[in-house]
Amino acid sequence: MSSITSSNETLVSHQTFVLIGIPGMQEKNSWVAFPLFVLYALTLLGNITILYIIKTNQSLHEPMYFFLSMLACSDLGLCFSTMPTILSVYWFDSGEIPLNGCISQMFFIHALQGIESGILVAMAFDRLIAIRDPLRSNVLSHSYCLHQDAMKLACADIKVNIFYGLIIAVCTLGTDIVIILASYVMILKTVLSIASHEECFKALNTCVAHVSAILIFYVPMIGIAVVHRYGKHLSPIVHMLMANTFVMVPPLLNPVVYCVKTQQIRQRLLIISGWGCKKDLRFKVSSKTSKRRVMCTVLLDALVILVSYILILKTVLSIASRKECLKALNTCVAHISAILIFYVPMIGITVVHRYGKHLSPIVHMLMANIFVAVPPLLNPFVYSVNTPQIRQRICNILQLKRTRG
């Protein structure tokens, strides 16, 4: 194991890491294995049940429950990203993990941590809007909010909106297209002045990926604009296909095009996939930058949640009826519980790692396991208890099974 340390960052070259269970008492790992297995089983059961109930119950197809589904998916992702290594350490005493696996696990843990924090922010906004201005549902013909589709639902005159949209499109997309065309006219002029045919083709080949990206972006955009403007008589399926093509095809094809046509990216992919010739793999860790990014994201999310609940309290306290006031506050109980379940272990593990270096390694181990295991386990139970629709659905399922039995 070798390491090179500089003032700002650490460059480390490792091939394998070793994970331990209970520090200093590895022989007792088997005692923890079964309780952890039960905990993970309950986590999977709870979150999958939440997803199943929301999926099968049409009355739960509302924003609040969509966010709850996202939270359950995030919890399942965290469970799946940590369960294999934790169970292998405690159950099979197999603690070795390769560098690639360790990096992947760290990525998923921190990415899902950021995603869950963002979902809690969105849920706070949802509670704020639901209490201050109850949502009125309108039906759109697409699976996402498209401007042209939403304009049709407006009760007022939309001519100003149409003209505004046209001006914005001309000023932005129109200008971009003109600049792109002018650039390629100058490129062609320069390329055609090259005497060597080989150098001429080589220069043009560098533009293939960009030209492909331009076509991939503009063709679906022009297509959906034409369909919405002149294809009102067409089948709704055509509108749906064009709308989905508009948002799905460019993000799908762009990386493929650039991977195929860019030699450096293609070569790097071959190395990562194991087909390349590079053997010395080095892991570059910029600890200060990573910590700052995570802290900024979490603090910003926490601030937004705090502001949302200040506005919620302001709205609730202005309600004259005490009964309605308590009813509004009760809708926030599950979300507040989820916030505490998520942030308290996160703050705890941060404090322990920052200021608890003198503490027993067992404390660090407990805090780390609580951080990744408790939120996915408790979230489905909190929402099942505090959400009447989900609670009633679970009772119906259990009663149906008893009847069949």
pLDDT value at 275 more than 60: no
**Predicted pLDDT of residue 25:** 66
The pLDDT value given to residue 288 = 52
Q: Mean pLDDT across the stretch 385-393?
A: 81
* Domain chopping of the chain, boundaries: 147-272
The b/e string for 222-251 (b: 16+ C-beta within 10 A; e otherwise) is: ebbeebbeeeeeeeeeebeebbebbeeebe
Q: What span, in angstroms and rounded, lies between the C-alpha atoms of 224 and 239?
A: 8
- How much is the average pLDDT of 250-279? 70
For residues 67 and 130, the answer to whether their CB atoms sit within 8 Å is no
How far apart are the C-alpha atoms of 130 and 147, rounded to whole Å?
23
Tell me what pLDDT residue 281 has.
43
Q: Model confidence over 151-199: pLDDT tens digits?
A: 776 666 777 777 777 787 778 778 888 888 998 898 888 888 887 888 8
Beta carbons of 134 and 313 less than 8 angstroms apart: no
Digit-coded pLDDT (tens) for 282-292? 444 444 555 56
The two structure tokens encoding residue 59: 């009355």
Mean pLDDT across the chain, nearest whole number? 78
- pTM for the full predicted model: 0.62
User: What are 332-364's pLDDT values in tens digits?
Assistant: 888 888 889 888 888 888 888 888 888 888 888
In the block, tokens 């350490």 appear at 89
Q: Which residue has the higher pLDDT, 1 or 33?
A: 33
Distance between CA 326 and CA 199 in Å, rounded? 76
- The pLDDT value given to residue 279: 43
Q: What values do phi and psi take at 291, rounded to 5?
A: -65, -40
pLDDT at res. 401? 66
The CA-to-CA distance between both ends of the chain, in Å, stands at 60
pLDDT for the residue numbered 140: 66
- What percent of the chain shows pLDDT beyond 70? 82
- Strand intervals (E) in 192-293: 283-285
Task: Take residue 86 and report the two structure tokens written for it.
Answer: 């934790």
Whether residue 280 is predicted with pLDDT greater than 50 in this model: the reply is no
Q: Is pLDDT of 8 > 50? A: no
Taking only the tens place, the pLDDT of each residue in 93-150 is: 777 888 888 888 888 888 888 888 888 888 888 888 777 766 455 766 666 677 767 7
Per residue in 84-104, pLDDT tens?
Answer: 888 888 777 777 888 888 888
SS3 62: coil
Q: Can you say how many angstroms the Cα of residue 28 is from the centroid of all Cα atoms in its chain?
A: 37
Beta-strand pair 10-13/96-98: unpaired
